Amino acid sequence: MALRLVAFVGIVVGLVTAAGHVLAQQPAPKPGTQNPVEAAQQAAKDAAEFEFLGALARTCLLPPSRSEDFRDIPAPYVSDPGKAPPRASWYADPAKVFDNLYFVGGKIHSAWALKTRDGIILLDTIYPYNSEELIVGGMRKLGLDPKDIKYAVISHAHQDHIGGAEMLQKRYGARVVMSGPDWDLVEKVPNRFKSMAPKRDIVATDGMKLTLGESTVNIWFTPGHTDGTISFTFQVLDRGRPVNVVYSGGTALVYEYHLPEWSIKNLQTYIDSQRHIAAKAKETGATVLISNHSEFDNAYNKNRMLAGRGNGPHPYEIGADWVQRYFKVTENCARATQLKLEQPPARQ
Ligand SMILES: [Zn+2]
């Protein structure tokens, strides 16, 4: 564990150094002024400290997620199940994280089950090739009945989050909730979503409240990662104590170097979304940030820390200030990228 952390920090330091070389090609700032790209990156780094290195690396350093791929062809692992990644690369044990919130995802991608007295709200459904074992199997291991899933809420229509939705809708009659633009995307490229496309059901909108039993999931429209990405705020209980949670629905930046105008606009949409969800997190007093990728909220490691918690603090409860800092990381990395796209290419 310690060795892995050292290796990871080494990679981050290496990437920071690599980014520094790229920046070195840009015109030197006048003495006394700071290059605005560097200033935004520095703001992200200051906000991240050691808590959000994954989000910092993904949004400030790593290559972009590409714009939407409209080729209507099935995923390789759908055409040929033998092409699914090996189980060892994605398997993780399920975990009871709060009194009424359960982790039923994998090592990299997450799914969460919010249990209420009237059934279960499932947040995200991971891939078609692992939703059976991780969601259905994971719930059973934790003493939950997958037949109780009343809603499956999909943060955005990418294969790592919508993968199990068709199966859950068909088999258990779960109502599927997704935003309008992402329902449109699924219908536009049906082969691309082959085996994962639920029939159009509930259309999520900004401010919508999804209530089941004693729990309400508040839905917030946070486009930018896809045109219809949604995020959530809701309350859970920790040993009977109410705790407010914010769930970030889409994180990686989506832009294309050869489409600067579109990319600058899309990044602005993303920045506005980060501010929107940060404001909702603040209003609701969120002290826990969760996500649908472990690289952003460290879910895989935190789940394993739960076992040794004893009477100590909950490993997910980072406090309201740190929750706000998370959205400063993503916002400033998006701004740095936007500034890079706005600059004319550096002369060689
Ligand atoms: Zn995605």
CATH number, span 65-260+276-321: 3.60.15.10
What is the whole-number distance in angstroms between the Cα of residue 100 and the centre of ligand 1?
A: 26
What is the whole-number distance in angstroms between the Cα of residue 179 and the centre of ligand 1?
A: 14
User: Over the stretch 127-174, which tens digit does the pLDDT of each residue have?
Assistant: 999 999 999 999 999 999 999 999 999 999 999 999 999 999 999 999
What is the whole-number distance in angstroms between the Cα of residue 119 and the centre of ligand 1?
A: 27
What is the whole-number distance in angstroms between the Cα of residue 156 and the centre of ligand 1?
A: 7
Q: What distances in angstroms separate CA 105 from CA 92, 169, 291, one per listed residue?
A: 7, 18, 11
User: Over the stretch 8-49, which tens digit does the pLDDT of each residue have?
Assistant: 444 444 444 444 444 445 555 566 667 999 999 999 999 999
What is the whole-number distance in angstroms between the Cα of residue 310 and the centre of ligand 1?
A: 35
The answer to whether residues 204 and 108 touch, using CB atoms and an 8 Å cutoff, is no
Residues of the chain with pLDDT under 70: 1-33, 344-348
What is the whole-number distance in angstroms between the Cα of residue 250 and the centre of ligand 1?
A: 6
Q: pTM for the complete prediction? A: 0.89
Ranges of H-type helices in the chain: 2-24, 36-48, 53-56, 76-79, 87-90, 131, 138-141, 159-162, 165-172, 180-188, 260-283, 294-297, 299-306, 320-342
Q: What is the pLDDT of residue 66?
A: 78
Q: What distances in angstroms separate CA 135 from CA 90, 139, 168, one per listed residue?
A: 13, 6, 10
What is the whole-number distance in angstroms between the Cα of residue 337 and the centre of ligand 1?
A: 18
Q: How far apart are CA 348 and CA 196, in angstroms?
A: 47
Q: How far apart are CA 343 and CA 223, in angstroms?
A: 24
Q: How far is CA 197 from the centre of its chain?
A: 20
